Every structure is written in structure tokens, then in C-alpha cells.
Structure 1
Amino acid sequence: MRAHHARAAQALDVRVEPGGEFWGWAGRTLGAPARTATGQPAWLRLVSALEDKASGKLWDGALDAQHAFGDLDRHRPALLAVHDAVDDGTAYRAELSVRVDQPVLSDDPVLQRDLQLPDSWWADLTGALEKVAAVDTGRVAVRQQYMDRAIPEFVGIPAPVAPCWTTAHADVHWANLCAPLRILDWEGWGRAPEGFDAATLYAYSLLQEDVAARVRDAFPVLGSPAGLAAEATVCAQLLQTVSRGDNLTLADPLRDWSEELRRR
């Protein structure tokens, strides 16, 4: 990965800055700060996959997002260039993006501390996600087949009918958000039940009651009939991760949420 990251930097004519190496899940991605030939701060991210798996939603997510959203009124780091390579059956894609200098709001997707964010930040977030929701796409973030299977198993109700499907970022959690607002990690975006991003952020806020309440205030779809399908889907997704040994700190709050959904 380091060798291919260096080759991609050379191909894209950028200089990687030392000391900022960041590895993604299971070593699948490698990112580092860089500078373009004109001195612009950038971020060079390399993702790898078996050559026959190097396609589809996750592989093309950042590139598709650039075409669909651009920089989303500066709330999304713009993609500047892409470089693809194949070596010995492994595909590598390098994505050069505008660098985000602000730290993420949480090192963990699950919020572990209280956050006091200004009303302007919440207005920027709701406005940005409204623009995302309005974009037409053939990409799919959540499949009805998954909902039909997982919601009865993990929430204990039949999958609610989603009255509306919209476009979602589909991974809005606190490790993908900055202040001032930047929304990171656009791999998995696509169609989902209305309110999916709001429900996702709410789920990852459950350990902080005040923040969870603020999410509900910002997104009135939560708690409404229109949002039930999205909430049940997110609750099922995270309870499924708990069953696999992940997100264990959320286990009890998620079960409480599932009880609320059953009552509704």
C-alpha cells in the first residue's frame, strides 16, 4: 500500500507530507496529507480491492459524489483527481481531494461526550442533507430486501412501508463530521428511506441525551410516521452490529429505541 501510494503521488504530481499517515479498516485504505504542484493542501487516499471486485457502489462512491454534488457549497471536500492502477491481481484507486484541516468531531462514530454546536452548524447540516436528498441517482444505499429481513429480526416489527425514498449520504456519524461543517466519506451514498441520515446521526448520539434531543429537534422527520421506516432500518442495522460484537456501548439504548418503534 505504501509503495502504491507513493506511485500514485508521483502520477498525480503531488508531494506527500510526512507524519500524517492514516490507515482505514483492515488496511484497505491509506490516506496522507499532500500538496499539489501549486502548493494547494490536499489529501491523497488510496483504496485497494481484488481486481475483480474493483467496481460498484463503494468503489465509485467518491467519484460519483463529485459528479452529483461537487463541493456541496463547501461542505464536502471536492475530489480533484483520480488515478487507477492494477498490480498482480489487486486494483488500486488513488483519490486526491481538497484537504479538510478541521478535526472530526469525534474519533469514534458513537459520540462519547457532549457537544455544544451553534445553531448555524445545525442549519448548515440540515441544509446540506436536504440538497443531497433532492439529487436523483440510481445508486442504492438501502435495499428493501434487507429491510424486509432485518427489521423483523432485530426490531421485532414488520418492515414499515417507506412513504418516500430520497438520496442519503448513508453514513452520517460523528467521525464523519467537522465544525465548521464538512461531511466526509462518500463511499456508500444512495437511495434510502426518507430520514435515513437523520436516523443514523440520532443512533450514534444515543449515549448523549442532550445531543440526541438536538438531533430530533433538527430533523422533525424523526418520530413521525414518515420517518418510521428509516428509524427501524437504522435501529436494525446497528442491533445487527451489536449481535456481531460491535457497538456494544449502544446495545441498551438501541433496545430502548426498538421498544419505542414497536409501540409506534
Structure 2
Amino acid sequence: MSSSVPTTVPFDLRVEPIDEVLNEVERSLRTQLDRGTLVRKRRSLGACTSRRTWVRIERRRLQRIGSQGWNGTECAAVLEGVAQPRWHRAAVWRQPDTAVMWRVDETDLLPGEPIGTSVLAADPGLPDEWWHALNASLDALGAQRTTRVATPDTVTITQHGVAEAIRRFLPDGIDMTANEWRPAHADLNWANVTGPEFCLFDWEDWGMAPRGLDAASLWGNSLAVPALAERVRHERRHDLESRDGKLMTLFVCAKILAPDAHPEDPRLEPARRMAAQIAEHLHTD
């Protein structure tokens, strides 16, 4: 008998009806949501609760969940020395008659506002203390171990995928193997960190990745503000100047320079220059 379960559903929570989803969250967690605080993104929702906590609600197709599951925020609760909201509880359910699942994670409220959108257009003027806290958290994260594998953009990072992404920048014969794999947040951008007090949130994609992924990601999301991008490179130079860090910088450049990139994206030219510079360095090493 063939399955009658649809494999696709509309996938933009910014415009879809969500009342039933919010009602299910309230029933599952036995709390009330403050609808006035609701944040709607393409594949996730967020809101304050009557317990003065925060819930993040995400929908994923079954094929995007994979063998390691999608409990990244819950698993990140065991990380030591990393500034993140304290995790409390979760609920997971399958949407009836679809190949889709929902998950809600309840955490402490953030200590401040997200610094901006994922890509910044102006320097946020962060104090030195913020950069010290960023470094302390990323260093602590990189020193730990996990069986999870990072899933940037919900796609599991692999050696093959890295090589395919950066191949266009490098001549034949250059070794594209990433040798140092460490835990990474895997979605480090300016919408997932707070200020002026540093806190890193949205941990659903974290796991093992080549050294320098997080630093390269934050650098790439800063390229529209040259001084900010240079500050990121300075603060995380021990990662970005490593061989794997150079490969991860090319990996991020490949995403910025994708065929569907907006022609007026201010990051395009600095990404091209950096990719050419790193390719030359790797060729002469």
C-alpha cells in the first residue's frame, strides 16, 4: 500500500497560520505564551512565557532530522564555560498526516537583545569585555568533545562537502583535507549573540566541525563593515590563521559567492579578495 502522507508542506512560518502550534506548546509545557513578544522566522518561532522564560519552536521535515536527532539546544546544556541561556525542558511532536515534526525548547531569557540581523551593515561598537567573553566561550567550546556533527544550514558538514564547496578556489593538487575537528556552534552570526552582555544562543546545529568554522562564519557576516570583519579576524586569529581555519574561510566565501548571491551584496568583493589571498597562501605553503 502506498503511503498517503504528504512529503512537503508550505514552509514559511512568517506567513502561515500558527495558532494551533502555539496552543500545543502551551498545553505541552503547561505555561502561557505572551503573544505580544512573538518572533516569527521562516522555520522557527519564539516567545516569552508566563514563567519569564523563552521558548523556541522549530519545524523540520523528517529527512532534515537525521540519525543524531535535532536536540542540539538540549545537548548544549552540558557544555562548560560557554555563555548560553540555561535550558529547562522540551517537547516534540509529529504534525498529523505529514512528514514533519515540531520541537519546542524552553530556556532562560536572554541577558540582552540580539546584536542585529545575521549580517550587520553597521559597527555595533562592542566593548572589549564582549570580545573577551566571545573568545572565552569559543575557546571553551572548542576544547570539549561530542558525538554530534555540526549541521550548518541543517546540512551535515562533511569532508567531501567542504572539498566540493572550496574546489573552485584552489588549483589541482592542493590538499583540501580538514584535519582538526572541534565542537562548533555552526550558526554563529550577529542574530544569535547578545550585547552588551555576551551570550550565544540557537544551538540546534552545533557539533564537530573543522577548526575555524565559527570564526569564519562570524567574519563572513561582518564583511559589510570592514573594521568589524578585521576585528573578528584579529580576535580569532589563532583559529583563522591555522590551515583548517583557512579552509573554513574559503568554505564561508563559497557560500557568500554562491550563484544565487544578490549582485549588490557588499560582502561579495571582500569575499573574492580573501578567497584569492588564501588560495595563494595554500598554494605556496
Which residue does 1:77 correspond to in 2?
Answer: 85
Provide Cα deviations, 1:34-84, integer angstroms capped at 9, x if missing partner: 122xxxx11122222345655545722212222x327x55x2112211112
Supply the AA of the counterpart residue of 2:72.
Answer: G
Is the helix fraction higher in 1 or 2? 1
Q: Give the aligned partner of residue 251 of structure 2.
A: 233
TM-score, length-normalised on structure 1? Answer: 0.86
The correspondence of residues 178-189 of structure 1 with structure 2, limited to 5 A, is: 178-179=194-195, 180-189=197-206
Q: Which residue of 2 aligns with 1:10?
A: 27
Aligned sequence identity (%): 27
Displacement of 1:248 in angstroms is 2.9
CA distance in 1, matches of 2:114, 2:205: 19
* Structure 2 match to 1:156: 170
Alignment match of 1:106 (pick from 116, 121, 128): 116
Deviation string, structure 1 residues 123-172 (Cα, Å, up to 9, x no partner) = 1101101111112112222210111211113x234453334211111111
1:84-119 superposed Cα distances (whole Å, 9 cap, x missing partner): 222313422121111115211112x11100122121
Contact persistence 1:151–1:159 (CA under 8 A)? no
RMSD between superposed Cα atoms in Å: 2.2
Distance 1:51 1:212 in 2: 36
Greater CA drift, 190-199 or 46-55: 46-55
In the alignment of these two chains, the number of paired residues is: 251
CA contact (8 A) 1:32 1:44 kept: yes
Contact 1:192 1:230 in 2 (8 A): no
* 1:134 partnered with 2:143: yes
* 2:86 and 2:108 in contact (8 A); partners too: yes
The amino acid of 2:249's aligned partner reads: E
How far residue 2 of structure 1 moved from its aligned partner, in angstroms, is: 2.3
Q: Which moved more, 1:198-207 or 1:89-98?
A: 89-98
In structure 2, runs of 5+ residues without a counterpart are 1-17, 151-156
Contact 1:9 1:44 in 2 (8 A): no
AA in 1 matched with 2:245: G
Q: Decide whether the 8 Å contact of 1:57 with 1:187 is kept in 2.
A: no
Residues 86/227 of structure 1: CA separation in 2 closer, same or farther (3 Å cut): closer
Contact (CA 8 Å) 1:140, 1:189: kept in 2 or not? yes
Matches within 5 A, 1:35-54: 35-36=50-51, 41-50=52-61, 54=65
**Cα distance between partner residues in 1 of 2:33 and 2:179:** 47
Does the C-alpha gap of structure 1 residues 132 and 11 become closer, same or farther in structure 2, counting only changes over 3 Å? same
Unaligned runs of 5+ in 1: none
Q: Classify 1:52/1:150 alpha carbon distance in 2 versus 1 (closer, same or farther; 3 Å).
A: closer
Hey, what does 2:208 align to over in structure 1? 191
- Listed as ranges, the matches of 1:165-180 within 5 Å are 165-179=181-195, 180=197
Work out the CA distance in 2 between the residues paired with 1:87 and 1:106: 32
Amino acid in structure 2 at the alignment position of 1:116: G
Q: Measure the CA separation in 1 of the matches of 2:95 and 2:249.
A: 42
Residues 49 and 92 of structure 1 are in contact (CA less than 8 Å); yes or no, is this contact kept in structure 2? yes
Change (3 A) 1:32 1:173: same
